[in-house]
Chain A
Amino acid sequence: MRLSVKSINYILSIFMLFIFGLFFLFSLLHDKSTIAIVDDFYEHPFKVSMAAVRMRSDFRTMWEISTSDVAGEVDTANTKLELKSLENDILAEMDVVKNRYLGPKEDIENVFNSYDQYRTLLHTAMDINEKKGNKEALKYLEENEAKEKLRELVENSSVIVNYAQNKAIFFRAKADSQLESYIYTSLVICLVVVGLFLAAAFFAMRYINKRFAEIHDALLQVDNGKLVDIEVRKYDIKEFADIKASIAQMAERLEGSYKTISEQAVELEVSLEQAREANERMMEQSREIEETNVELESVNEELSATNAAIRDQARELHESEDRLRESQQIAKIGSWTYFVEDDRFEVSDVASDIIGGFDEYYAAFSDAELLVREGDRKFFRDTFGAAITSKEPFYMTVATSSQEEPKYLSIRGKCVCDDTGKVASMVGTLQDITQIQKANELQNALINNNAMCIFLASQDRKIMKANERGCEMFGYDRTELEGADFSLIHTDMESFLAFANEYSKLRDGGLTNIRYRMRKKDGSIFWCSVSGAPLDTSDLSKGVIWTLLDIDDTVLLEGSYKDFFNSIQYSMYVLDLDKNFIEINSGFTAMHGFGAEEIIGKNVIEIIDCSKNDIEQINRYYDLAISGEPQTFEFWSVDKNGKSFPKEVSIARGKFVYKDAIVTIGLDITRQKQLEENLQTLVDEETRKRMEREHMLVQQSRLAIMGEMISNIAHQWRQPLNQISVLKDGLVDDYYFKDLNDAKMEHFNSSVTENLRYMSVTIDDFRNFFRPDKDKTEFSVVESINQAVSLVKDSMQSLDIDISKKFDSADMRIFGYQNEFAQAIINILSNARDALKANNDADNRQIEIGVHGQGGVVSITIQDNAGGIKSDVVDRIFDPYFTTKHKSQGTGLGLYMSKMIIEQNLGGKLTVANKNNGACFLIELAISKTGETNG
Chain B
Amino acid sequence: MGGSNVMRGQHEGETMRRSLATGSGRTGAGPVRKRGMRIALAAGSLLLALGCSNDNSTPGIPKDITSVIFLQRLARNDGVGNVFDYTSYRSGEPGHPGGRLVKLEPPSPDGKLTVLTGDAMFERADIMAWDLSFDAKMVVFSARLQGANRYHIFTMQVDGTTPRQITEGDRDYIYPIFVPGGRIFFMTNEVVEPGTPQFTDEYERQVTAQVGTMNLDGTAVVLGPRNVSHRVAPTLLPDGRVLITEWRHLGDVNDGHLRIMNADMTAVREAFGGEGSGSFNSYLKARYVKTKKNAAGKDTYQVVTIATSRDMTLQSGKLLLVDLNETEKAATAKDMTPQVPGGREPSLQGVGRYYDAEIVGNPDDELFVASWADGPVQSEILGMAGTNPDFGLYLLNGKTGQRSPIFNDSTYWDVQARPVKARTEPPVASSPIMQGEKSFTIGALNVFDSSIFPNLMPGSAVKVRVMEGFSTEEGFPDMFGLSEFDGHSRLGEVPIYGDGSFAAKVPANVPIHLQLIDKFGMSAANEAVWFSGRAGEERFCGGCHEDRGKATVVAPGTTQAVQHGALDLDTPRAMRQSTSYSYENIRGVPWDLAIQPVLDAKCADCHDGSNRPGNPTYTVVDMTTNTMQQFTFDLRGQKMVINVGERMTGDFTASYISLVGLEMEFGENQVMIIGEPKQYVEAGSAVTSELIKRLNPPQRFPLDTNIRLRPGVLPHPLDLPGGTTRPGGGPLEALTPEEYYRLILNIDMGAQFYFRENKEAP
- A and B bound? no
B interface list, Cβ under 8 A from A: none
